[in-house]
Amino acid sequence: MTSHKRRYADLHEHLQALKEQGLLLTIDRPIDKDAELHPLMRWQFVGGIEEHERKAFLFTHVIDGRGRKYEFPVVVGALAGNRRIYGVGMGAPLDEIQARWDHAIANPIPPREVETACCQEVVIEGVDLLGAGHGLDSLPIPVSTPGFDSAPTLTATNVITRDPDTGVQNHGTYRAALKAPDRLVVRMATRVGGAGGYRHYLKHQKRGDKTMPCAIVLGAPPCVAFVAPMKLPIDVDEVGVAGGVAGEPINVVRCRTVDLLVPAEAELIIEGWLDTEFVEPEGPFGESHGHVAPEEFNIPMRVTAITHRKDAIIASYISQVTPSESSAIKRVSYEPMFLGHLRNALGIRGVKRVTLHERMTALRRIAVITMAKGTPRSEVWRALYGATSFKADCGKICIAVDEDIDAENSDMIFWALSFRMNPSTDLQVLNYRSPGHGPEREHESEDGDATLLMDATTKEELPPLALPKQEYMERARKIWEELGLPKLRPQSPWFGVPAGDWLPQWDAAGKRAAEGRYLENGTASETLRRSGIKPETRYRPDE
């Protein structure tokens, strides 16, 4: 254990707090991580369960598609299964969360390095990382979108890299697909502006470095886990902001095989080296924009060590089609952030609420601004301009409504648009905005996007919706009902169909992954490694 006392909670303590508040459901029966685990959790989001009824799920008897039992339990929804769970992790009521973030960003507290840490109670290195059932293959990493994903994928990550020029570390939430017991492939966002980890990757390439140190953290203390997906300014040391949230320094320890500092109270650390010369096909994977992301070339990582607590719990996010845990994490922080910007920074007092539409649109595309009755028209338009320009990838469609419109009810929004908007005078199109996060590759677009484009029809054939296939959802539904969980009220869509831009090769790979045979996919993708190709370049087996 670490030698310094602390007040902030680690994941174990956080789960105990959730249990005491009736927000944690423990499932002791065998659950297949490759075909059942995420679909079972998915029913909370597509089964008509009210947001406040959602819970975190702790799976204590995890098996794979071949019946192999794993040592560690898996928890999903523990950070943001709903808003209340997020508030428990922040240690603050929901109405105080934005103020806490503002204070933490303005007053970061540098971390405290310790010599010993619970995240290194067990160390796996060298030959112990090799062979089926060892290394990464010993970890119960779920398949997120059974039937479509080609591999178990790390989702609830703090991926730590360091700027080779400044030495400042970055925490990013990037997915990482398992390929072999000592190899995975990391997808670091290359969209406009670039994620912090990807900027470090480019710097190492420019310096001529063949590799780049990396540490992937699973199960960080909630205050640390929350900073990774926050999209804080570039070159901000996220662990210092986490310290600001906690009100004290975060304990960190130096990795065993790479020169990086990681949270001392984390559940598990994967250490290794990212390849800056070669890229490897990664995916398909169900993305948070709601479609399956086809195969792309991304960054291989050779694992040099895995360290963990003796009683480690593996954390996983449920993402893909929203609502999801991923969107809930963002929504709890983004909505008050937008409201604070409009009311306080811009001084538009008529703004009563900002609602980021969650279901199917992943928060970023539609912003509904509730205005007080009698607000001057000029202020309504100033609020619309302010909302669409606040974050580059948010607010493609911004709608101002009166207080009598329930911003959570899309039928009421359509009603307001139908009877309270004159398209010739009440609609504007603003050009030159970031295309944002979507099934189209934003970093490949040179023309950008626009705001308030009202035509929402599909212009190109897209991959399937990122929901497990019907057979896996039906399988999970039977388990759900056997467990005596709340009655499901399925909401369409609740399963994915292999249609659109979807190849038989990807379908076969998804079937193998759902059967626990992802290593076969990893062996095949390794033969396709290439050099001189930019990460996230699409790869199609039929070309």
427 and 310, same structural domain?
no
Residues 6+ apart with CB under 8 A from 274: 161, 186, 201, 211, 212, 213, 214, 299, 300, 301
Residue 32 has pLDDT above 70, yes or no: yes
Per residue in 142-161, pLDDT (tens digit) is 999 999 999 999 999 999 99
Q: Number of C-alpha atoms within 13 angstroms, CB side, residue 248?
A: 8
pLDDT score for 95 = 81
Q: Above pLDDT 70, what percent of the chain? A: 90
258 and 396, same structural domain?
no
124 and 96, same structural domain?
yes
Classify residue 353: in a domain, yes or no. yes
381 and 273, same structural domain?
no
Three-state SS string over 293-340 comes to: ECCEEEEEEEEEEEEECCCCCEEECCCCCCCCHHHHHHHHHHHHHHHH
β-pairing verdict for 251-254 and 112-113: parallel
Classify residue 24: in a domain, yes or no. yes
332 and 317, same structural domain?
no
Q: 371 φ, ψ to 5°?
A: -110, 145
Mean pLDDT, the chain, rounded, equals: 87
337: domain range?
Answer: 328-451
Classify residue 480: in a domain, yes or no. no
Residue 312 has pLDDT above 50, yes or no: yes
Angstrom distance (rounded) from CA 517 to CA 510: 9
- CATH code assigned at 391: 3.40.1670.10
- Domain final position from 422, 451, 480: 451
291 and 184, same structural domain?
yes
Angstrom distance (rounded) from CA 169 to CA 143: 29
148 and 131, same structural domain?
yes
Q: Does residue 244 contact residue 103 with C-beta atoms inside 8 Å?
A: yes
pLDDT score for 396 = 78
Q: Does residue 326 contact residue 357 with C-beta atoms inside 8 Å?
A: no
Per residue in 524-535, pLDDT (tens digit) is 999 999 999 999
pLDDT score for 541 = 92
Per residue in 410-467, pLDDT (tens digit) is 877 887 788 787 888 888 888 876 665 556 654 445 566 777 644 333 435 778 878 8
Lowest mean pLDDT segment, chosen from 24-28, 162-166, 381-385, 406-410: 406-410
Residue 176 has pLDDT above 70, yes or no: yes
Per residue in 247-270, pLDDT (tens digit) is 999 999 999 999 999 999 999 999
Lowest mean pLDDT segment, chosen from 11-25, 298-312, 393-407, 449-463: 449-463
- Domain final position from 451, 478, 499: 451
Classify residue 504: in a domain, yes or no. no
**pTM confidence score:** 0.79
Classify residue 542: in a domain, yes or no. no
363 and 252, same structural domain?
no
- Domain final position from 321, 350, 374: 321
pLDDT score for 531 = 94
Q: Looking at per-residue confidence, does 278 or 360 come out higher?
A: 278
The label of the residue with tokens 């009521």 reads 93
88 and 159, same structural domain?
yes
Residue 101 has pLDDT above 60, yes or no: yes
Classify residue 458: in a domain, yes or no. no
pLDDT score for 71 = 95
pLDDT score for 436 = 59
310 and 202, same structural domain?
yes
How many folded domains does the chain comprise?
Answer: 2
State the pLDDT confidence band at 181, using cuts at 50, 70 and 90: very high
334 and 205, same structural domain?
no
63 and 173, same structural domain?
yes
Classify residue 482: in a domain, yes or no. no
Per residue in 480-516, pLDDT (tens digit) is 999 999 989 887 678 988 988 899 999 999 999 999 9
- CATH code assigned at 132: 2.30.110.10
Classify residue 96: in a domain, yes or no. yes
pLDDT score for 397 = 85
